[in-house]
Structure 1
Amino acid sequence: MSLADDLARQPTAAEAEHRPRTEFDGTSGYVQTGALTEPPASHTELLRQFGYDPDEVEIVGAPRISRWQTFDERWLAAYRFRIAPRQAAASGMDELLARIDSWTAHQPTAASGPHVFNFQASDLQIAKSDNGGTEVIVEKFLESVDRAVTEHQSLAHRGIAGVHILFPGDCIEGNVSQEGRNWWRTEYAVTTQTRILRRLMLHAVEQFAPLTDQVWLSVVNGNHDEAQRFQTTNPGDGWATECAISVADALKMNPAAFGHVTVEVPHPEQGFMTVARGDTIFTIAHGHQWKGGGTAKGSHAFTWWADQSFHQQNPAGAHILAHGHYHTWAVETAKTRTRICSPTFDGGSNYYRDLTGAEAKRGGLVYLTRAGEVTAMSLV
């Protein structure tokens, strides 16, 4: 061997290839593919290859991917999928219709009074995996609805003419935040996220509908709810409002039970809406329309509100700006204006806690409104 050949030699590693393997204990597990030149074409076929029945087991979330280049310059990848028992396969609309059909006619309550009872629930971010994930988010929401119903009953003596349920956005985790980089920390695909959200919206309506003769369900999209970002569509192209529209369509199938329920979302070309609830006017937005924080003169939310008013847009007539996005319960007031920022239902971000130490209270807000004034507010 010549000196040139000897110098050209290199200590090439004998690579340990990824071997197909799987583990599953009946509750959770994983599937690890071997080295592949292309991603698996079908989750169903992949499950069958590993001996699972796709009717009993499903792949959840996005795969963890390992990529490497071989000595002959080919790129290979191995995929690790999480698996879990398959959840009920009924379609979202079929299930909603079945539940709605089972309700008997609404019995008028004849409740009257000067107040509207508000339940404000923002930033559920369904499928976010941090701090308990979706299971804890759903449990907290259901608990919050129960507490809100109790609060409604305890405040009924003040005179409540209607119930306003607000979802100010980021209802699901989605798959578009941070250009999709949040996807590996997301437990379920978007279709499953929206199915859960529809059920939770309907649950809230079902709990309040028998208590009053007027229910409003108000829903706007947050940045996590956006359907896509790779091309520009419109502000209404979001999953939260689509779920609300599905619930509205289903409620119409039983007008005797739910004819007193009104569902509203913004115009497709607008990301927020200004609506009257009783004698109080709300502007409902998510909050990503402005930056957090503010100046000595007030928050950036008040600045956005003031700009809308200066240009004579509809928020000029609002008494209340209800929003989410900042994951912190906050109230800011002027003489005739009140800003109400929701806390969060998700468990917070591990990244943000590690960076700042900050954590937020979980839950929804309940409060009464009358002629633009807010009273009896509490976290539930």
Structure 2
Amino acid sequence: MPTPKLNLDQNPEFRADLENPNLTNADIVNKWHCGNGYVGDRRARLKRGEPIDPTEAREAGQAPPEVLPESHSVDFEGNHTIEKVAERIIPLSEWLDDLRKDGFDPDDFETSHSHSVWMQHTRDQVTKVLYANKFIARKRPQKVREALVSHAEVMEAIRTFHFIPSERAFQDAGFILMPTDLQTGKVDIAGGTAETAEQVLTSFSKAAEIIKEERPRQVAMVDAGDVVENVFNTSAQLGTNDRDLPHQVVEAMALMQKGIQMLAPHCSDLRYAAVSSNHGAFRVGPKAPAGDAHADYGIAVAKLLGIALELNPAAFGHVTVQVPKPHMESLAFDIAGTRIGAVHSHQASSADKISEWWKGQALGRLPVADADFLLAGHWHSLRVQQAGDGRWIFVGPSSDRGSSWFTNLKGDQATSGMLSFFTADKQWWGLDIL
């Protein structure tokens, strides 16, 4: 087998494989250990007669350089808000230059600037660090009063003062987000680990924007299992995965940590909950689990996140990490007047049998017995159904890259993403897949 070069675009043997009609995308992925999306993009470039290297394409004038988004808005009081996405932190001096270019004197404004950071995985197998830079310039009062304020004026101002609550106050609601069935390390129809990471970070980014806009007081991130693909869940995984098991765990923890970093600044109470699962189970061989219900890589990721968050209580003191009680595979918690239960649901023989499993848990007074809503993973496609006395079961979609085994068997291909919805007092609304 050839040894792949660091830049496959410059490798003539790789190009020959792309041009070989007898080779499928999967054949090339397995041979060169690259992503399915990467191979598909390179073959499409060749079909259009373009260089397969994006850098060469830009130099040849066939593809414009990537344009990162930016905006500049001015409200009715003359305050400016400028936002730019860049591969660096933009200094204050450049923001002030932007004001001058638009004909404004920076001395007429009180200014502030900030930024957030995230990772972007491109189809060219490149990981970028991007910064969302934001600059605010507020108009200064046109004139400072030189005369002293009289006692009567002060008393009148106090007497006539009316408190108007901020429009940005937290609302008494909870927001549920289900980053479940990531199966990091898996390669399938829609790509591998890099494409999974791009999907997951995009979902977290959308969730952060919703939380920032709607301002729910409480937020819960529920990992309903299968955060890693594992190497012993099936005998094929050792040949199909693009990450070994230790690096699956590293990737899973990095993605979940990034999700917490993106959501935590926008709420007053954030909970990260994780449950045991079949792909997450510690195994010593194919179909050979070892240890109890907590010998699980998803539980390990949650516990490591809890330890890491304690290093910065100023930023993450309002974040709670929860796993099931010893020997249990499910858990429950309260959010905005609603009792939430969570389980992976591989314990049920089908998605239709989850309600039967739940009935048994209620009879046994186990963790999810009195839950109003039950959140489940495992089945990879969205399902919402009522059960019992007005309770609800939510089966979340997966964030992995699809299941060719299921698609070949049934012809179905579910929408990938994270289930999200709002809740308060046992009611729910705003359900979406992010």
Give 5+ residue unaligned stretches, structure 1: 1-20, 30-79, 85-108, 294-298
**Alignment size in residue pairs:** 278
Q: 1:330, 1:167 → 2: CA distance? A: 17
Give yes or no for the alignment of 1:248 onto 2:248.
Answer: no
Matched ranges for 1:1-380 at <5 A? 22-27=2-7, 111-130=169-188, 131-156=190-215, 160-178=216-234, 180-228=235-283, 230=288, 232-293=290-351, 299-334=352-387, 335-380=389-434
Percent identity, please. Answer: 25
Alpha-carbon distance, 1:128 to partner: 0.7
Q: Is the Cα–Cα contact under 8 Å of residues 222 and 274 in structure 2 kept in the other structure?
A: yes
Query: 1:83–1:112: structure 2 CA closer, same or farther, 3 Å change rule?
Result: closer
Q: Compare relative contact order (CA 8 Å, sep 6+) and give the higher one, 1 or 2.
A: 1
Secondary structure of residue in 2 paired with 1:177: coil
Task: State the Cα deviation string for residues 195-231 of structure 1 (Å, max 9, x = none).
Answer: 1111111111111111111110011122101111535
CA-atom RMSD, angstroms? 2.3
Alpha-carbon distance, 1:28 to partner: 6.0
Q: Is the Cα–Cα contact under 8 Å of residues 176 and 226 in structure 1 kept in the other structure?
A: no
Q: 1:220, 1:189 → 2: CA distance? A: 22
Matched residue type, 1:302:
S
Could you state the TM-score of these two structures normalised by the residue count of structure 2? 0.60
Secondary structure of residue in 2 paired with 1:210: helix
Q: 1:145, 1:257 → 2: CA distance? A: 18
Q: 1:231, 1:146 → 2: CA distance? A: 35
Q: Is the Cα–Cα contact under 8 Å of residues 33 and 242 in structure 2 kept in the other structure?
A: no
Q: 2:276, 2:330 → 1: CA distance? A: 8
Q: 2:8, 2:326 → 1: CA distance? A: 40
Could you state the TM-score of these two structures normalised by the residue count of structure 1? 0.69
Q: 1:27, 1:303 → 2: CA distance? A: 53
Deviates further, 265-274 or 195-204: 265-274
Matched residue type, 2:181:
D
Matched residue type, 2:228:
I
Task: State the Cα deviation string for residues 3-56 of structure 1 (Å, max 9, x = none).
Answer: xxxxxxxxxxxxxxxxxx533221469xxxxxxxxxxxxxxxxxxxxxxxxxxx
Secondary structure of residue in 2 paired with 1:126: coil
Q: 1:212, 1:267 → 2: CA distance? A: 26
Deviates further, 188-197 or 270-279: 270-279
Q: Is the Cα–Cα contact under 8 Å of residues 203 and 417 in structure 2 kept in the other structure?
A: yes
